[in-house]
Amino acid sequence: MKTPMQELIEQLKEQAQFIRDDDCAQDKFYRTGLRNAIKYAESMLEKEKDVMCQFQSDGQRTDFWVKYKDNDDCFDKTFNTKEK
């Protein structure tokens, strides 16, 4: 099973492979952006691993599930995805 970040990297690489050196300047500029996005996503793999491991570790504690209503609540509070 691939992580979401690994899937994203794979999709970005697929997009970049269709742009050749003899394509127009806009396409080459787009390819540069894709390559930068790939590098950034690859640098985030370790952080993604750390977060997943921390959640797995936290999830084994009984007080963890007392603190959060469900997985969505845990995610939203951990990553501040919703306005308070």
Q: Say whether pLDDT at 83 is over 60.
A: no
State how far the alpha carbon of 37 is from the alpha carbons of 48, 65, 84, in Å: 16, 35, 31
pLDDT per residue as tens digits for the range 15-64: 988 888 888 989 888 999 999 999 999 999 988 888 888 877 877 776 77
pLDDT-derived band of residue 82, with 50, 70 and 90 as boundaries?
low
pTM here is 0.67
Position of tokens 């939203």?
A: 76
Tokens standing for residue 4? 């979401």
The dihedrals phi and psi of 59, each to the nearest 5 degrees, come to -65, -20
**3-class secondary structure, 19:** coil
Q: Where do the domains of the chain lie?
A: 4-79
> Contact, 34 vs 12, CB < 8 A?
yes
